[in-house]
Amino acid sequence: MPPKTSTKYKGKILFLHGYTQSASLFYAKTSALRKKLIKIGYKCVYLNGPYVLTPAELPTTDSLSKFGSSTADDMTYRSWWVKHDGTNNSVNLEKSIEAIKNYLKDGEIIPDEDLKVEPETDEEKKLPVVGIIGFSQGAAFGGLIAHKFHELFETEPLKFVVLYSGFKLDTSKETGNDKYHEHYPQTEEEVINSHFKYLHVYGELDTVVEESRGYSLYHLTKSSSDFLKHPGGHFVPNSKLYIDQVTNWIQSVENKQDEEATEQEKKKDDIDSLLDMMDNFGKA
């Protein structure tokens, strides 16, 4: 059971697991990252994908380990979309988008019998979702909803996303995914004006997401993206070196955005003061 804490959080981060994983498995595999994020003031919320995969939809046992999944017999394997014929073509993300909406609106989380979560306090319910951390398919889904997060879910825009072994969904007409094309930024100006940052983390030995796919969303969002490589494969690196690099990056993004917000507020105050002064010209 996750430990109770009296930490005063400044925001929430949604954790989106990979294909054939679950919230509880992702919770276990990101323990060091989660503890560091809690320490610096973030509440970590692990969500389950809405699809439970049938035995026929599962990869082989050998492939499961490559996806970072458990091979336990009693494991519930979940996903954010179901693959058809082993491809990411003609996917349906509506149930997954609805799952995010249900959490943001009502605090509803798809239950996970292996992850007992304390009900959120009234104070925690009011916290904004400031970021997404996703792995593999969860990173791909997180990268797809990130740009228009505030429109899709009628909430505040994100501040950052961290995408481990992520990729851009192919939204060409040939794949049948073209209805999701508009979820991504269409121009560099849109990327810059979104005012949030992407961190793409990729393993040099990743045999599940090939390098060209691993760079696909990075190239689209390059003006607002950073890229971090690690020497491992298809997993979230849990060493102190990479935990510190990721959490330091998150803190630097937050600090810069806070500075920019303060500067904008100062400019607004200066303009308001100038307008008030002009209003008072000629008055007794």
pLDDT tens per residue, range 208-257: 999 999 999 999 999 999 999 999 999 999 999 999 999 999 999 999 88
Task: Give Cα 226 distance to the centre of its chain.
Answer: 15
Position 1 in a domain = no
* pLDDT at residue 67, rounded to an integer: 76
Position 4 in a domain = no
Long-range Cβ contact pairs of 106-113 (< 8 A, separation 24 or more): 109/23, 109/45, 109/47, 109/48, 110/23, 110/47, 110/48, 110/49, 110/50, 111/48, 112/22, 112/23, 112/24, 112/46, 112/48, 112/76, 113/24, 113/76
Let me know if 144 is exposed, middle or buried by CB neighbors in 10 A (0-12, 13-18, 19+): buried
Position 176 in a domain = yes
Q: Residue 78: left if φ>0, alpha if ψ -120 to 50, beta else—which one?
A: beta
Position 3 in a domain = no
Position 6 in a domain = no
62-85 pLDDT tens trace: 667 667 777 666 789 999 999 988
* Number of folded domains that form the chain: 1
Q: State the Cα angle at 216 between 210 and 221, rounded to 5°.
A: 150
Position 59 in a domain = yes
* pLDDT at residue 73, rounded to an integer: 64
* pLDDT at residue 6, rounded to an integer: 45
Which CATH number do you get for residue 254?
Answer: 3.40.50.1820
Position 42 in a domain = yes
Structural domain range at position 38:
11-279
Residue ranges of the chain with per-residue pLDDT less than 70: 1-7, 61-63, 65-66, 71-73, 261, 264-270, 272-284
Position 200 in a domain = yes
